[in-house]
């Protein structure tokens, strides 16, 4: 659960106290600030399917420090859907997708080129936005075309990180999918598989990447919340 403010918040504790998370059944969870603008609330364990969640942000008129006051309240509610997870194993070059513990499909993949800046980080990612088509442009992350970057339109792009890692269709690398890493960090699959993946996953689902030559996706990337230990997360940083 993310609450994003329009300005940097000086008094994080006051902001947290204005946010109420109610779940049925009750689950253990805690706040952690991703940055000065956004606080996250994460359960200790993955949400169980069917859990009902309500969030109330009673921020209107609340003193948030340094002359900043909340302008209006907000709220939302949702129910956790089926548990859909994907495991991307660089050792086998396969992405196996599970739904409620049952295997739906194993998809050949090509990950980021081994050993350098483009290697795909390991860790647990959270599914974010989805795009029928998307311009992938490394210049937005400081890598020019001259430095080996890219500027490519792709189809059926499912976001895994704020830093630009997606599952997407890559017809140019079908020869490599299942045997060789050739991408700039993304999970390359066929266009058919990319569309299938987009249609069978939802925001918040987990993608576990393992056995790559890179490090671990940091929590501060924005969709790596599950890569921080519960001990550190639950201690908070307000």
Q: Where are the beta strands (DSSP E) in 109-224?
A: 123-126, 130-137, 151-159, 166-169, 187-189, 206-210
Catalytic residue among 168, 184, 189, 209: 168
Residue count (the chain): 238
Catalytic residue among 9, 64, 186, 207: 186
Q: How far is CA 123 from CA 70, 166, 176, 218, in A?
A: 36, 14, 23, 9
96's tokens: 């196996």
Report how far residue 61's alpha carbon sits from residue 223's, in angstroms, rounded to the nearest whole number. Answer: 30
Report how far residue 35's alpha carbon sits from residue 12's, in angstroms, rounded to the nearest whole number. Answer: 11
Find all residues with CB under 8 Å of 199, minimum gap 6, and list them: none
131 noted as active-site residue: no
186 noted as active-site residue: yes
Catalytic residues: 168, 186
């Amino acid at each position: 659960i993310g609450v994003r403010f329009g300005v940097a918040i000086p008094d994080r504790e006051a902001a947290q106290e204005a946010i109420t998370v109610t779940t049925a059944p009750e689950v253990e969870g805690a706040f952690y600030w991703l940055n000065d603008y956004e606080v996250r609330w994460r359960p200790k364990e993955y949400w169980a399917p069917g859990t009902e969640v309500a969030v109330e942000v009673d921020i209107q008129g609340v003193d948030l420090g340094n002359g900043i006051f909340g302008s209006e309240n907000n709220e939302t509610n949702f129910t956790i859907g089926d548990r859909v997870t994907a495991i991307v194993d660089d050792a086998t070059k396969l992405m196996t997708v599970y739904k409620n513990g049952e295997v739906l499909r194993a998809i050949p993949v090509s990950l980021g080129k081994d050993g350098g800046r483009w290697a795909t980080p390991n860790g647990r990612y959270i599914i974010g936005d989805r795009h029928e088509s998307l311009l992938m442009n490394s210049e937005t992350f400081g890598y020019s075309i001259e430095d080996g970057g890219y500027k490519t339109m792709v189809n059926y792009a499912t976001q895994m990180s704020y830093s630009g890692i997606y599952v997407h269709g890559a017809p140019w690398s079908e020869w490599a999918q299942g045997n060789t890493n050739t991408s700039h960090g993304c999970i390359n699959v066929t266009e058919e598989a990319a569309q299938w993946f987009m249609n069978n996953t939802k925001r918040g689902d987990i993608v576990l990447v393992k056995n790559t030559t890179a490090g671990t996706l940091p929590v501060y990337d924005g969709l790596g919340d599950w890569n921080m230990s519960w001990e550190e997360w639950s201690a908070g940083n307000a």
